[in-house]
């Protein structure tokens, strides 16, 4: 007769140890993500310093105004971020008033949605730093270089506060989709554009396309007062 011996013992619960190990791994991953994010932020801040006001003050004759293309609706966010980073940024805008539930609310809207201006001393590091700012899509330019906005044109834009300040030019009511026109005012003065669509209203505007050294840029809202039909 064979005797069997029953082995008994205490059941070990491994769950707390597994959960503790998983928690440790998650904290480690979170720390690594945070470290990487901080490193990227430091690199971005270093690159933006190359576009700082201090550099413009040290080399004023080298500083130029350039035009950033940004995500629609994020213009003022980018402007504030750059200003907080000590980069000279300017968002051409106009004051607007709207009525909401019987209350008058004041605000601002861009003259050129999706575009804003920055002044800095050009360098590879500065251009790279600005291109990597969140919500920035590109810098207006092409293979032959970036578009430089003239100081006098920026000063004219700074004088604008509302549509009432726009140049008093008779609206060309013959302007139609597909027409070609010269841009006579604003950051894109000197460019020839193609009219994609005209919006007839109190202050008529058009959606236009410009070509910068072979690279197309679409401008959503260009006042017809800024265009001279060819």
- For residue range 106-118, list pLDDT tens digits in order: 777 888 889 999 9
pTM for this predicted structure: 0.74
Strand partners, 69: 115, 138
pLDDT score, position 142: 81
pLDDT score, position 140: 93
User: What does the pLDDT average to over 13-21?
Assistant: 71
User: What does the pLDDT average to over 137-166?
Assistant: 81
pLDDT score, position 148: 93
pLDDT score, position 94: 75
Most confident listed range (10-19, 22-31, 212-221): 212-221
CA angle 115, 119, 122 (to 5 degrees): 110
Percent of the chain scoring above 70 in pLDDT? 77
User: What does the pLDDT average to over 216-227?
Assistant: 87
C-beta separation of 205 from 163 below 8 A: no
Measured between alpha carbons, how far is 48 from 107 in angstroms, rounded to an integer?
A: 29
pLDDT score, position 194: 93
Maximum pairwise Cα distance, the chain: 117
Per-residue model confidence as pLDDT tens digits over 98-142? 776 767 777 778 888 899 999 999 998 899 999 989 899 999 988
| Residue 39 confidence (pLDDT) above 90 | no
pLDDT score, position 171: 67
Question: Which domains are delineated in the chain?
Answer: 20-165 (3.30.70.940), 166-230 (2.30.30.30)
Query: Ramachandran region of residue 151, left (φ > 0), alpha (ψ -120 to 50) or beta?
Result: alpha
pLDDT score, position 41: 52
Per-residue model confidence as pLDDT tens digits over 173-196? 788 889 999 998 889 998 999 999
User: What does the pLDDT average to over 150-179?
Assistant: 75
């Amino acid at each position: 007769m064979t005797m069997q011996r029953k082995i008994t013992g205490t059941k070990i619960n491994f769950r707390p140890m597994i959960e503790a190990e998983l928690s440790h791994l998650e904290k480690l991953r979170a720390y690594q993500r945070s470290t990487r994010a901080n490193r990227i932020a430091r690199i971005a801040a270093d690159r933006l310093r190359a576009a700082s006001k201090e550099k413009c003050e040290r080399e004023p004759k080298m500083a130029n105004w350039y035009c950033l293309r940004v995500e629609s609706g994020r213009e003022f966010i980018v402007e504030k971020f750059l200003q907080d980073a000590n980069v000279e940024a300017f968002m051409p805008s106009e004051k607007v008033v709207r009525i909401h539930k019987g209350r008058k609310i004041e605000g601002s809207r861009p003259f050129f949605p999706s575009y804003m201006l920055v002044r800095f001393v050009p360098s590879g590091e500065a251009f790279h730093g600005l291109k990597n700012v969140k919500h920035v899509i590109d810098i207006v330019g092409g293979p032959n270089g970036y578009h430089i906005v003239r100081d006098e044109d920026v000063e004219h834009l700074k004088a604008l506060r509302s549509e009432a300040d726009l140049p008093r030019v008779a609206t060309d009511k013959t302007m139609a989709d597909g027409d070609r026109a010269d841009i006579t005012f604003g950051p894109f003065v000197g460019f020839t554009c193609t009219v994609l669509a005209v919006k007839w209203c109190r202050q008529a505007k058009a959606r236009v396309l410009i070509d910068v050294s072979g690279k197309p840029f679409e401008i959503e809202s260009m006042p017809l007062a800024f265009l001279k039909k060819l």
